[in-house]
Homo-oligomer: A and B are copies of this chain.
Amino acid sequence: MISTLIEKIKEKKAPVVVGLDPMFSYIPKHITDAAFEQFEETLGTAGEAIWQFNKEIIDQIYDLVPAVKPQIAMYEQYGLPGMMVFDKTVKYCKQKGLVVIGDIKRGDIGSTSEAYANGHIGTVTIGRTELRGFYEDIVTVNPYLGSDGVLPFVDACKIHDKGIFVLVKTSNPSSGEFQDRLVDGKPLYELVAEKVNEWGADCMDGEYSEVGAVVGATYPEMGAVLRKKMPKAYILVPGYGAQGGTAESLRPYFNEDGLGAIVNSSRGIICAYQQDRYKEFGEQNFALASRQAVLDMIDDINSVL
């Protein structure tokens, strides 16, 4: 799958992924009003409004970017109607030719991780039929439980031509509380990086491994170290834009050939219409504002490569 992602990155000249992380409060009033009319003050309204919001944005950006990254929490919070829209969004993005990175950050003991892996990037078997639970191409994985929590995802990558990004150094302010602590003189995130190499070693898909890493844009010095430490791991970089990462800070995450990293922006794209910079589009044309924000982001990132 990572080779498919890389092809699409090259084809679109855009090492960029759009985070589809809709909050109800992000959605323009004309959409929520229509949803309230249909479903009143229920979770159905959240589901319907998010779906209409996502769909317009996807329609405006699918030709510009290789991938999208729906954050499942933003759907899961709205219960079953939310999960239905997660599923619908993933399927719609795949129809549009996008690689879908499910930002699920799952990780558990072996047998349970196997269930998550089967459900999100693998298959489950009912009778003699193999079925998919959800339809992502790649998912994010939490490594705190160690190898037996991660390897079921690696196995699913091998069997089903899928990928994972393992959390190594996250973008949030308190990520250092545990991740930066020194173990034998090395920060914990370097130990996790070494494991990423190990887990990915026999799971290559061209130049890069199906096992990639998450390294936040907000920690560029660590990004530089981790880029060298994991030469075969693609790096998913959250934290650009709303969380504070700048294009200049992103250079260290890429290899010399301009590959090796893909940068995510969520609020910066899907809420572009709320920014001064894009307010000329107006709330009705929120998705055109998102399109312009994607074009600007691609230019911004390519300017440092």
Q: Is A203 an interface residue (CB 8 A)?
A: no
Each complex incorporates copies of this chain amounting to 2
Q: Across the interface, do A80 and B77 meet the contact criterion of CB distance under 8 Å?
A: no
Q: Across the interface, do B149 and A174 meet the contact criterion of CB distance under 8 Å?
A: yes
Residues from chain B with a CB closer than 8 A to the CB of A132 are 79
Closest to A140 in B: B108
Q: Across the interface, do A172 and B144 meet the contact criterion of CB distance under 8 Å?
A: no
Q: Is A205 an interface residue (CB 8 A)?
A: no
Residues from chain B with a CB closer than 8 A to the CB of A172 are 109-110, 145-146, 148-149
| A interface residue numbers (CB < 8 A to B) | 21, 23-24, 36, 40-43, 45-46, 71, 73-74, 76-80, 82-84, 87, 105-110, 112-113, 115-116, 118-120, 124-129, 131-134, 142-149, 167, 170-179, 181-184, 188, 191-192, 195, 238, 243
Closest to A181 in B: B183
Residues from chain B with a CB closer than 8 A to the CB of A243 are 109
Q: How far is the CB of A255 from chain B (nearest CB, A)?
A: 26
Q: Which of A42, A77, A108, A174 counts the most B-chain CB atoms under 10 A from its CB?
A: A77
